[in-house]
Structure 1
Amino acid sequence: MFIPQVVVEYGKTQPKKMYTSFEGRQWTYGEMRNKAERVAAYFQQKGYKAGDVIALLSGNSDTFVAAYFGVQLGGFILMPVNTKLTAREIGYIFEHSEAKSLIVDEAFRKTAEDTGGSFQEVLEIGGSGQFDAILEDRSLVPGPVDLKPDDTAVIMYTSGTTGKPKGVMLTHRNILETAEIWAEAMEVTADDRMQITTPLFHCAASHVFMNAVSVSGGSLVIETAFSPDKTIETMEQSRATMFFGVPAMFAILLNRPGIGELDVPNLRLFCYGAAPMPYELVKKLKEAFPGVKVQNLYGQTENTPAATTLKDHYALDKIGSVGEPLPRTEVRVVDEEGRTLPPGQVGEIVVKGPQVMKGYLKNKEETARAIRDGWLYSGDLGRTDEDGLLYIVDRKKDMIIRGGENIYPLEVEEVLFQIPEVLEAAVIGIPHPVYGEVPKAFVVLKEGKSMAEERIIDYCSQHLAKFKLPAEVEFLEELPRNASGKVLKQTLRPKGEEAKA
């Protein structure tokens, strides 16, 4: 059985157990089974073909979960879309994926309309409530579907170095294996209650946490988003046993008055990822919650995501490490010829296992570049230590991670180059006390031209998601370059950051 079928089976064997809790509403496994089956039946009866792509533009909710499983259960491909993207960015994803239908939260209906996307139908969550009605329609009964291991189950778009997102095709096998791998690594049981505040349209929240808990028969406590006071209140009231956040979220929580006095006797595990966690932050976390273990997670959308994990016993001794390979997973650091490097030497991190993606949608060239002899070339530079633990040294593709959101400088640079007054531009990540790092733009204006920082940021805001906007703009007479003309971004980084270049 694959993940959607596992949830349906739990709906038969433990129908009255709470599966999701969202804003005071609880759905049991039995209720989720019924709702997912109705979604599957609806698309089947409407004449959609196996393998058709159904887009989902929605924030966190229990309805998101029903759509996620229901679409797959019917033999179709689910495509969650990042709601933080602009209409232009989402429009490209709709067009490139050839999505046949759109399930959209009423909060994002205007954005969906602005994309210009064309669908057989648009089903709204809330508002007109067409999708909500499907979840309650008892006349909808799905037909049998033969889900195959290598069938594409989910497509998630991730930014590419060209600035155009790439559609990562994940199979039923990828998703099931990843759920089982993380369930083993985090020791998830049916007694766990996972508190999810990060976006379910991201691979981590859905495939690492939602699915690992689901395959184990546990419960999901879903919040619309991270909000310090609300998150703390939910953590106490829901009796959550697990919580995931990016380092910025933990920094915010630890600054709340009385954080170490919370009534959370069931809480057993804090997970973090997407960016490094400084030593002092890990230390404060363990001091405030001495009975809670801390675990770092590392992976990419292209490996569903599952590569390595740093468990609690290493939390303070191996700061900066992303840990050891996960079960069923091989991880190496290699040179340009693909040869394994000894401890201490920096090379590209490659990953092999059943969680490695099927490939990029309609992009054989990039797929061949990323997957070689079964190994996924991550694009991250790293090294191992004498104990075999992995450390990320840099992001080979200059990616910026702002509070868990990935930003590729080239995406921002391409927008800056569209400004008539701009001659050239370069974007780097600079340290930020809350988000870890944020984009900074270095701009060279054309001779005789002038432009204020505010105008540049305003222009970018019309073409980029808010989290991708430059936090700062610095004007230069010229960009530093090497003899071959390549911009020397390491010389643009703040003092003390050059070592990361």
Structure 2
Amino acid sequence: MFMPEIVVEYGKSQPDKVYTVFEDRKWTFGEFKEKAERIAAYLQKQGYAPGDVIALYAGNSDAFVAAYFGIQLGGFICAPVNTKLTASEIGYIFGHSEAKALITDAGLRETADKTGHPFKEVLEIGGAGEFDAILGDGDLACRPAKLAEDDTAVIMYTSGTTGKPKGVMLSHGNILATAEIWAEAMDITGEDRMQITTPLFHCAASHVFMNPVTLKGGSLVIEQAFSPDKTLETLEKTDATMFFGVPAMFAILLNRPDIKELNVPKLRLFCYGAAPMPYELVKKLKETFPEVKVQNLYGQTENTPAATTLKDHYALDKIGSVGEALPRTDVRVVDEEGREIPPGQVGEIVVRGPQVMKGYLKNEEETARTIRDGWMYSGDLGRTDEDGLLYIVDRKKDMIIRGGENVYPLEVEEVLFQIPEILEAAIVGVPHPVYGEVPKAFVVVKEGKSLTEQAILDYCVEHLAKFKIPAEVEFLDELPRNASGKVLKHTLRPVHQS
């Protein structure tokens, strides 16, 4: 059985157990099974063909989870879309994936419509939306779809250094293997209640937490978004046993004066990832919650994501490490010829296992470059220590991680180059006390032209998601380059970082 079928099976075997908690609403496994089957049945009834892509452009809710599983249960491919992107960015994803239908929040409908993509239909969640009517339609009967291990189940778009997002094709086998791997690595059981505050359209929330907890028959406590007050209140009220956050979230929570008064006797595990967690923050987290274990997680969309984990016993002794290889997973650091290199030396991190993606949608060249002889070349530079633990030295070339969101400089630079007055532009990451790092723009203006920082930022607001907009702009006479003309970004960082 694959994940959509496992949800249905739990609907039969433990129909009265609470599966999802969202705001004041609880759905049991039995109720959820019916809702997922109705979504599948509706899409089948509408005549969509097996393998058609259904885009899911929605925020966190129990309805998102129902759509995610319902789409797959019907034999279709689910394409979750980042709700923080602009209409033009979303439009590219709709078009590239050839999405046939869209499930979206009522509040996001206007942005979706701006893309002009020719969907056969758009189903709205919330309000008087059609999606809610489908969930309650007892006359819809699902025909079991024959799901195969190598069938594409989900396409998740991840930005690339080419400037355009790449569609990562994840199979039913990939997703099931990842659920099994993380369930083992985090000792997940049916008694666990996972509080999810990070976006479900991201692979971390959906594939590292939602699916593994579901696999074991546990419960999901879903919040629309992270909010210090509400998140802490929900932790207490729902008796959550697991919580995941990026370091910025933990920094905010630990700085609250009332944090030590939190009553969470069932909480057993804090998970963190997506950005480095400073020693002092880990230390403070463990001192504030001495009974709760902490665990660092590392992976990429291309490996569903699952590569390594740093468990509690190493949390302070191996600070900065992303840990050891996960079960059923091989991780190496290799040189440019693909040969494994000794501990201490820096090379590219490569990953092999059942969670490695099928490939990139409509991009055989990039797929062949990324997956070689069964190994997924991550683009991340790392090293191992004498105990075999992995450390990331640099990330995907010049990628910036702003509060857990990936920002690829080239994508931002391409927008800057659309401004007629700009001759050259370079984006680098600079430190930020809350977000870890933020993008900074270095700009060279054409001779005889003038341009203000505000004009640049105003243009970016129109063409980029909020988290990709440069935090500041610095004007230079020229960008530093090497003999071949490549911009030397590493010299911009120490010389110009604020």
- Give the TM-score range, shorter chain: over 0.9
Question: Is 1:429 the counterpart of 2:414 in the alignment?
Answer: no
1:104 partner SS: strand
Matched, 1:129 2:129: yes
The answer (yes or no) to whether the contact 1:430–1:494 under 8 Å persists in 2 is no
Q: Which residue of 1 aligns with 2:490?
A: 490
The code of the aligned residue for 1:295 comes to Q
Distance 2:215 2:396 in 1: 34
Tell me the distance in 2 between the aligned counterparts of 1:451 and 1:228. Answer: 39
The amino acid that maps onto 1:207 is H
How big is the shift at 1:128?
3.3
Kindly indicate whether the alpha-carbon contact (under 8 Å) linking 2:36 and 2:69 is maintained by their aligned counterparts in 1. Answer: yes
Q: What SS does the corresponding residue of 1:493 show, helix, strand or coil?
A: helix
Q: Secondary structure at the match of 1:492?
A: helix
Which amino acid letter does the alignment assign opposite residue 94 of structure 2? F
Residue 495 (structure 1) shift: 5.6
Counterparts of 2:387 and 2:409, CA distance in 1: 34
Aligned to 2:116: 116
* Residues 53 and 97, structure 2, Cα contact 8 Å, conserved in 1: yes
Partner of 1:23: 23
Distance 1:136 1:80 in 2: 23
The 1-side partners of 2:115 and 2:144 are apart by 35
Q: Distance in 1 between matches of 2:230 and 2:28?
A: 23
Give the TM-score of the pair, scaled to structure 2: 0.99
Partner residue, 1:414: 414
Q: Which moved more, 1:111-120 or 1:122-131?
A: 122-131
Q: Pairwise mapping of residues 87-166 of structure 1 onto structure 2 (< 5 A)?
A: 87-166=87-166
Shift of 1:494: 3.4
Q: Does 1:58 align with 2:58?
A: yes
SS at match of 1:180: helix
| CA offset digits 1:380-426 (Å, max 9, x no partner) | 00000000000000014211000000000000000111101101000
In structure 2, stretches of 5+ residues that fail to align are: none
Question: Following TM superposition, by how much is the alpha carbon of 1:496 offset from its aligned partner in structure 2, in angstroms?
Answer: 11
> Which residue identity does 1:269 align to in structure 2?
L
Report how far residue 309 of structure 1 moved: 0.1
Listed as ranges, the matches of 1:51-450 within 5 Å are: 51-450=51-450
Q: Deviations over 1:187-235 (max 9, x none)?
A: 0001100000000000000000000100000000000000001101101
Distance in structure 2 (CA, Å) of the matches to 1:163 and 1:226: 29
* Deviation digits for residues 349-387 of structure 1 (CA, Å, limit 9, x no counterpart): 000000000000011000000000110000000000000
| Cα distance in structure 1, aligned partners of 2:145 and 2:247 | 41
- Residues 79, 154 of structure 2: 8 Å contact kept: yes
Indicate if the aligned counterparts of 1:39 and 1:134 stay in contact, CA closer than 8 A. yes
3-state SS of 1:454 partner: helix
Where 1:367 maps in the other structure, the secondary structure is: helix
Taking a change above 3 Å as real, the CA distance of residues 453 and 53 of structure 1, as seen in their structure-2 partners, is: same
The code of the aligned residue for 1:215 comes to L
Note the C-alpha offset of 1:144: 2.2
Q: Take 1:494 and 1:484, find their aligned partners in 2: how far apart are those partners?
A: 22
Letter in 1 for 2:11: G
Secondary structure in structure 2 of the residue aligned to 1:379: strand
Q: Is the 8 A contact 1:194 1:220 kept in 2?
A: yes
Per-residue deviation at 1:489? Answer: 0.7
CA distance in 1, matches of 2:372, 2:347: 16
| Structure 1 stretches of 4+ moved >2 Å | 494-498
Letter in 2 for 1:417: F
> Aligned partners of 1:491 and 1:260: how far apart in 2?
43
User: Residue in 1 aligned with 2:458?
Assistant: 458
What is aligned with 1:32?
32
Deviation at 1:491, TM superposition (A): 1.0
Greater displacement, 377-386 / 394-403: 394-403
TM-score, scaled to structure 1: 0.98
Q: After superposition, give the CA deviation of every residue in 1:24-57 in whole Å (9 maximum; x if it has no partner).
A: 1000000000000001111111111000000011
Does the residue aligned with 2:207 lie in a helix, a strand or coil? helix
Count of aligned residue pairs for this structure pair: 498
Distance 2:397 2:407 in 1: 10
CA distance in 1, matches of 2:165, 2:271: 27
In structure 2, relative to structure 1, the CA distance for the partners of 1:417 and 1:497 (3 Å cut) is: closer
Structure 1 residues 105-136: Cα deviation after superposition (integer angstroms, max 9, x where no partner): 01100100111111111111113310000011
Q: Which amino acid aligns with 1:256?
A: R
Q: Is the 8 A contact 2:73 2:144 kept in 1?
A: no
Kindly, what percent of the aligned residue pairs are identical? 80
**Using a 3 Å threshold, how does the CA distance of structure 1 residues 496 and 417 change in structure 2: closer, same or farther?**
closer
Distance verdict in 2 for CA 1:348–1:497, change over 3 Å:
farther
Classify the secondary structure of the residue corresponding to 2:463.
coil
CA distance in 2, matches of 1:308, 1:332: 11
Residue 478 of structure 1 aligns with an amino acid whose one-letter code is E
Paired AA for residue 274 in structure 2: A
How far, CA to CA, are the matches of 1:348 and 1:101 in structure 2? Answer: 39
